[in-house]
Structure 1
Amino acid sequence: MRKYVSRQESTLGRRRSNIPSLVCAFAASATTGGTIYCFGVLANDLKKALQITQMQLGAVSAAFFIAGLISWIPGMVVDRMKMRFSMSCGGLSGATFTTIYWILCRNPGLSPFFRDHPVAVLSCLAIAICLSCGLIVGTSSSSHLCGGRDGKGPAVGIAKGFVGLGSGVYATLFQAIRDDNESTLDFLLVIAFFFILNATLPALFLLPPKEESHPRLMRMETTPLHFRTMYASLAVLCLFILGSAICDIWSVSDDQPKGRNFGNVLMILILWLGPIVSLFLPEMLQTSPAWIMLCITLVLVGSGTAKTNNMGQMVEALGFTESVTPATLAIFSVAQAAARISTGILSEAALKWSNVSVPSFIRAEDSNGGIPRPFFLVIACSISLLAHLLLAASTDLVSFVFGCAISAIAFGMAWPLMVLIVGDVFGVEHHGANYMFFDGGTKALGTLLLSEFLAGFVYEAHVDNQHHLDQGVDGMLNACWGPQCFRDTHLVIAGLSLICMVASLLLCYQTRFAYGSPLAR
């Protein structure tokens, strides 16, 4: 007994500040978003380099998310090995697999096996990269708990904001350092670099060792000023990326060589890097709210990845210039980042809005008012419905970009809600594995069903209808031209969003108990 007490006292005597862990989580969060959601930047060059069809390209892009089906494994690794080991290994392995991915894409003849089976090899590498991101996401999710009771919501919102903004940061950085004739496949090197810079190195120097990583062993030193500083940094970074994207879209000098813009690179790096019920995963999966939330978030997430993975083809099909792709991805990134941040803040504040009335069937009997967190999923699904109806009807640049931006809001809202609802309903002791089930499952199934199967099937169907028109266009076959290439995809997602609105109300009803206790607030 005395030995235990001495060890406990010794551990408490070494209590660390929670700020380094949050800084590490914020820095690493952008690496996952930049990796997963920027495939559209390099998709066209990858398709040309490997001479593959749109369906094969879709399979490669979907592979980045397929590992989500087993992403509970990285979550369990994080729960067992804790934060320092998990994030440092995630960054190192992510950089390694991304570099191999780049080498093979730039030199298809380097390996006879790769030359004969490019889709299979790249899919395996993509799964490995996604699992690496899972280690980073799981660690960041655990680090959010270090924000303390009152800072948990803002911490999640900020971290998820960096995830959403990651693709915009990466796309804008790459456009700034890229020559006009440089292949977009070199974008993979940017991803590998930031895996090391923003994940591995901060983990080694900032995160506590395994025996000191529990949130109870940390001093909660964050103040509202810390969060306000991060909000301001994210807001300025969003505005800068948004301005750069709009300038690219509306530029009238597309025929002029743009060259490198190191001023933009410096500015982005400064803005970016400057500033209680516990259930095991199997127990959680036996509850109906877990599966209802999975279906809802699957549609919200899958609809977003359907755009990030196919953005280049959407832009090409509507006849816009190639520069619209990275610019629209940047706007998509800013919009989803803003949604992630605001959702984390608003969903926390809304729990205490006692003067706001909500329907009785979604309010716990002992509740004093406020809006339960799952109700924000109803709002997200409504926004998704509106966005995809607009995208289905869009034929001009303004409506297309606006529709993508609105869709990004719904996509971004899903991420902090998953983190927070999982903690509210299923507890925090096994939060890493529980959350990663949703994080990985939604990305894997949503991308596979909506981005790969649905979007790919609709696209290929219209390629067959006009096959004689696209022979020899940019040396590519199997290209689709016209708004019909993705219209049915948007309409199907709009219908699914409507169904998910009803499912979200059911989720509110089934989880109302979690928002009646003061501990849930």
Structure 2
Amino acid sequence: MLGGMLQFTAFMLFWAISVKIIDLGNLNTLAVLILLSLCSIVQFLGSSCVTGQVFATAVRNFPAQKGRVVGLIKGWVGLCGAMYTQIFVGFVPVDLDDQDDPLWLYFCLVAAICCISATFVPSQYIRVHAPATSLAVFEANVRRRVRLGYGILLCMGITCITSALIEHVVSRMVLTGLAVIMICLWASPVILAWDGLDVADGGGGVLDIPLIGEEGVGGQKPASLTIKKMIKTLDFWLFLWPCLVLIGGGIGLTTNIAQMFGSIDSSGNVVALTFFSATQSLSRVGAGGLCDVLRRRGLSGAVVVLGGLVFMLVGYACFVVNTEGLLFVGVLCAGVGFGSAWPVMVVVVAELFGEEHLGGNYMVYDGVASAVGALVFGKFIPEEIYDAHTEDGETDCYGKECFRLTYVIIVGLVLSAVVSVSILIKRIHKKGDKF
């Protein structure tokens, strides 16, 4: 609830400043920049409050299916940008071809309303249920809700993509209708709290054996470490680097995708970005479920990170060739790798460092990987190489050399991350009940 209020406040300030309800005309440029930066900090703090608590709660309450539940939540996170945008397009009559249309500034107002609706309002209706009569009954009830959640998420994804693809060729009424459908789908997870989804028996549940998240690989629950103690361990650094590379590779792609396609005289970046969004969202769901499958076989979720790195490696290897067709293939592969990182980070951090301080521990990974990945993979590396191959007096670079060295460097970094996570996996399964 606190996180939602902070985000609501930040977005409302952004909106009020942008449409000049709050007039900053007497302030110099530096003062305005500082004020907007403070708003961004408030927005980030609100997001961190929500993110840390949501995933810590999910892991603690669904120990046997933490991967699936976290993956489902991360799938929704992956779609939220498209969802907000298409709801805004459906209700605000902006000129889709004119990015300078002043009505676009009202997106911050819509985002503020969405934030408060998705946090403050539901928090007033949270119920604490009595524990189920047996583990089998509890697991069966969770499985029913997760499957229904998958269905709702799939419907939302299809609706968002459909709205984005046809927004230039249909009437305003159609877009508004799709926006109404998205709002209904957005609110529909409330039915997951319906008692009618409960079952009377376990139905032969398949998750009735000890899992890593509950008792550790060798039968002992992993110790819970604070942030200070966590960052002193070798496992922290061995896992942080692969996460940073996966997330950085995805952020670098989305940041530079227009220039990547433009450099080879292709206009396919919009379609490619849509495919990337859909692929990484599906990957979030699948990776979370795969963590549970591996845990039932005594394997750590870090194995999924290794698989994600392989997809990222294949993706950037396709980019090195730098033809339009292989750019699309690379975008899809990189989307799988990028999406897989998000739910697995939550699960593996809980495996390695316990659940008591999971909210703070996870946010260290989330914050560091996102910030450093955005700066290094999204800005410093590609910007320097792109500018070096741009003709004097020009702002755009054309030719395969504009990004080729960037791709080669990232391929090398991904290979180093493969080595790092491989060492971590070996350490995890060697020490077994000691972590």
Q: Secondary structure at the match of 1:180?
A: coil
Matched, 1:418 2:380: no
**Equivalence for 2:146:** 227
The structure 2 residue matched to 1:487, chosen from 375, 400, 404, is 404
CA distance, structure 2, for counterparts of residue 94 and residue 382 of structure 1: 36
**Equivalence for 1:288:** 234
The structure 2 residue matched to 1:338, chosen from 262, 278, 282, is 282
**Equivalence for 2:6:** 93
CA distance, structure 1, for counterparts of residue 431 and residue 25 of structure 2: 55
CA distance, structure 2, for counterparts of residue 333 and residue 320 of structure 1: 19
CA distance, structure 2, for counterparts of residue 136 and residue 218 of structure 1: 24
Correspondence list, 1:233-244, <5 A? 233-244=152-163
Whether the aligned pair in 1 keeps the contact of 2:290 and 2:304 (CA below 8 Å) is no
CA distance, structure 1, for counterparts of residue 27 and residue 182 of structure 2: 40
Ranked by relative contact order (alpha carbons within 8 Å, sequence separation 6 or more), the top structure is: 1
Gaps of at least 5 residues in structure 2 are 133-137, 190-220
C-alpha deviation, 1:385, in angstroms = 0.7
**Equivalence for 2:423:** 506
Matched, 1:183 2:95: no
Q: Percent identity?
A: 26
Distance 1:383 1:106, change over 3 A: farther
- After superposing the two structures, state which structure 1 stretch, 135-144 or 161-170, moved more: 161-170
- After superposing the two structures, state which structure 1 stretch, 272-281 or 429-438, moved more: 272-281
Correspondence list, 1:264-279, <5 A? 264-275=178-189, 276=221, 277-279=223-225
CA distance, structure 2, for counterparts of residue 448 and residue 442 of structure 1: 10
Whether the aligned pair in 2 keeps the contact of 1:167 and 1:333 (CA below 8 Å) is no
Whether the aligned pair in 2 keeps the contact of 1:351 and 1:372 (CA below 8 Å) is yes
Tell me the number of residue pairs that the alignment of Structure 1 and Structure 2 aligns.
388
Distance 1:126 1:454, change over 3 A: farther
**Equivalence for 1:152:** 66
Distance 1:434 1:264, change over 3 A: same
Whether the aligned pair in 2 keeps the contact of 1:165 and 1:333 (CA below 8 Å) is yes
Amino acid at match of 1:283: K
CA distance, structure 2, for counterparts of residue 175 and residue 491 of structure 1: 39
**Equivalence for 2:256:** 310
CA distance, structure 1, for counterparts of residue 83 and residue 42 of structure 2: 23
Distance 1:229 1:95, change over 3 A: same
Whether the aligned pair in 2 keeps the contact of 1:459 and 1:480 (CA below 8 Å) is yes
Length-normalised TM-score, structure 2: 0.79
Amino acid at match of 2:81: S
C-alpha deviation, 1:289, in angstroms = 0.6
CA distance, structure 1, for counterparts of residue 143 and residue 291 of structure 2: 17
**Equivalence for 2:311:** 383
C-alpha deviation, 1:445, in angstroms = 1.4
Whether the aligned pair in 1 keeps the contact of 2:60 and 2:355 (CA below 8 Å) is no
Distance 1:515 1:417, change over 3 A: farther
1:261-313 deviation digits (Å, cap 9, x = unpaired): 11221222233331321111111111101011111101111111223333444
CA distance, structure 1, for counterparts of residue 11 and residue 381 of structure 2: 27
C-alpha deviation, 1:245, in angstroms = 4.8
**Equivalence for 1:466:** 391
Q: Secondary structure at the match of 2:179?
A: helix
- After superposing the two structures, state which structure 1 stretch, 137-146 or 483-492, moved more: 483-492
C-alpha deviation, 1:92, in angstroms = 1.8
1:88-119 deviation digits (Å, cap 9, x = unpaired): 22122212222333454566984454635666
Matched, 1:196 2:142: no
CA distance, structure 2, for counterparts of residue 199 and residue 118 of structure 1: 29
1:99-141 deviation digits (Å, cap 9, x = unpaired): 3334545669844546356665544433332222111101111
1:360-415 deviation digits (Å, cap 9, x = unpaired): xxxxxxxxxx432211111111110111122343343x543442222111111111
Whether the aligned pair in 2 keeps the contact of 1:180 and 1:258 (CA below 8 Å) is no
Amino acid at match of 1:142: A
CA distance, structure 1, for counterparts of residue 113 and residue 316 of structure 2: 35
CA distance, structure 1, for counterparts of residue 155 and residue 224 of structure 2: 38
Q: Secondary structure at the match of 1:501?
A: helix
CA distance, structure 1, for counterparts of residue 170 and residue 421 of structure 2: 49
Correspondence list, 1:44-443, <5 A? 88-105=1-18, 110-113=24-27, 115-116=29-30, 121-176=35-90, 177=92, 178-180=94-96, 183=99, 185-186=104-105, 187-203=107-123, 205-207=124-126, 219=131, 222-245=141-164, 259=172, 261-275=175-189, 276=221, 277-314=223-260, 316-321=262-267, 327-353=271-297, 370-396=298-324, 398-443=325-370
C-alpha deviation, 1:235, in angstroms = 2.1
1:179-217 deviation digits (Å, cap 9, x = unpaired): 3355375333332221111123223x1347xxx8xxxx9
Distance 1:467 1:189, change over 3 A: farther
CA distance, structure 2, for counterparts of residue 246 and residue 386 of structure 1: 28
Amino acid at match of 1:442: A
C-alpha deviation, 1:240, in angstroms = 3.3
CA distance, structure 2, for counterparts of residue 393 and residue 314 of structure 1: 12
1:146-172 deviation digits (Å, cap 9, x = unpaired): 543323222111111111222232344
- After superposing the two structures, state which structure 1 stretch, 501-510 or 182-191, moved more: 182-191
Whether the aligned pair in 1 keeps the contact of 2:225 and 2:354 (CA below 8 Å) is yes
CA distance, structure 2, for counterparts of residue 319 and residue 118 of structure 1: 38
CA distance, structure 2, for counterparts of residue 417 and residue 193 of structure 1: 30
Length-normalised TM-score, structure 1: 0.67
Distance 1:487 1:102, change over 3 A: farther
Distance 1:458 1:99, change over 3 A: farther
Gaps of at least 5 residues in structure 1 are 1-87, 249-253, 354-369, 471-477
CA distance, structure 2, for counterparts of residue 127 and residue 433 of structure 1: 17
- After superposing the two structures, state which structure 1 stretch, 104-113 or 385-394, moved more: 104-113
Amino acid at match of 1:490: Y
CA distance, structure 1, for counterparts of residue 23 and residue 184 of structure 2: 39
C-alpha deviation, 1:441, in angstroms = 1.3
